[in-house]
Amino acid sequence: MGRAPCCDENGLKKGPWTPEEDLKLTNYIQIHGPGNWRSLPKNAGLRRCGKSCRLRWTNYLRPDIKRGRFSLEEEDVIIQLHSILGNKWSAIAARLPGRTDNEIKNYWNTHIRKRLLRMGIDPVTHTPRLDLLDMSSILRSMLGNPSLLNMQGLLGAQVLMNQGLLKLASTASLLSTINNDENPNLASQNFVHSQVATTPPSLDSTQFQFQMPTNQTNNVEVEGFLGTVTNLSCSSSPSGDDKINLVLQQKNQVDLLGNHDVLVHSLYNAKNQNMGCDSVMRTPVSSPNRLNSSSNYVKSGTEEERESFCSDLFEFEIPESLDFADIFCNVPYTPIN
Partner DNA sequence: AACGTCCTCAACCGCTGTAGA
Partner DNA sequence: ATCTACAGCGGTTGAGGACGT
| Interface residue list for DNA (CB under 7 A) | 1-5, 7, 13-17, 35-39, 48, 50-52, 54-56, 58-60, 87-91, 101-103, 105-107, 109-111, 114
Residue 81 CA: distances (Å) to CA of 103, 112, 168: 15, 13, 21
Is 32 or 114 the residue whose CB approaches DNA more closely?
114
If the CB atoms of residues 12 and 151 are measured against DNA, the closer one turns out to be 12
264: closest CA among 157, 191, 160, 164?
A: 191
Residue 249's Cα: distance from chain center in Å? 18
- Distance of closest approach, residue 3 Cβ to DNA, in angstroms: 5
Minimal distance, residue 56 CB to DNA, in Å: 5
The residue among 100 and 173 lying less far from DNA, judged by its C-beta, is: 100
Minimum CB separation of residue 248 from DNA in Å reads: 18
Beta bridge partners of 128: 121
Q: Least distance in Å: CB of 29 to DNA?
A: 12
- Secondary structure of residue 128 in the 3-state scheme: strand
Q: CA angle, 294 as apex, 292 and 296 as ends, to 5°?
A: 70
DSSP codes joined into one string, 77-105: HHHHHHHHH-S-HHHHHHTSTT--HHHHH
Residues 334, 200: Cα–Cα separation, whole Å: 32
Neighbours of 266 (CB within 10 A): 22
Determine the Cα–Cα distance for residues 97 and 66; give it in Å rounded to an integer: 8
The closest of 255, 262, 237, 125 to 200, measured between CA atoms, is: 255
Min CB(5)–DNA separation in Å: 6
Cβ-Cβ contacts under 8 Å for 333 (sequence gap 6 or more): 155, 156, 159
By the 10 Å C-beta count (0-12 exposed, 13-18 middle, 19+ buried), 121 is classed as buried
Q: Which is nearer to DNA, 50 or 153 (CB)?
A: 50
Nearer to DNA, 53 or 149 (CB): 53
Q: What is the nearest approach in angstroms of DNA to the Cβ of residue 34? A: 7
**Whole-angstrom Cα distance, residue 275 to residue 256?**
26
Q: What angle do CA 168, 173, 175 make, to 5 degrees?
A: 95
> How would DSSP label each residue in 239-289?
-HHHHHHHHHHTTTT--HHHHHHHHHHHHHHHHHTT-S-TTT-------TT
Task: Quote the least distance from Cβ 8 to DNA, whole Å.
Answer: 8
Tell me whether residue 105 or residue 282 sits nearer to DNA (CB atom).
105
Q: How far is the CB of 13 from DNA (least distance, A)?
A: 7
Separation in Å, CA 1 to CA 5, 49, 140: 12, 20, 65
Which of residues 40 and 160 has its CB atom nearest to DNA in the complex? 40
Cβ-based nearer residue to DNA, 47 or 285: 47
State the nearest-atom distance from the C-beta of 72 to DNA, in Å. Answer: 16
Q: Which is nearer to DNA, 109 or 273 (CB)?
A: 109
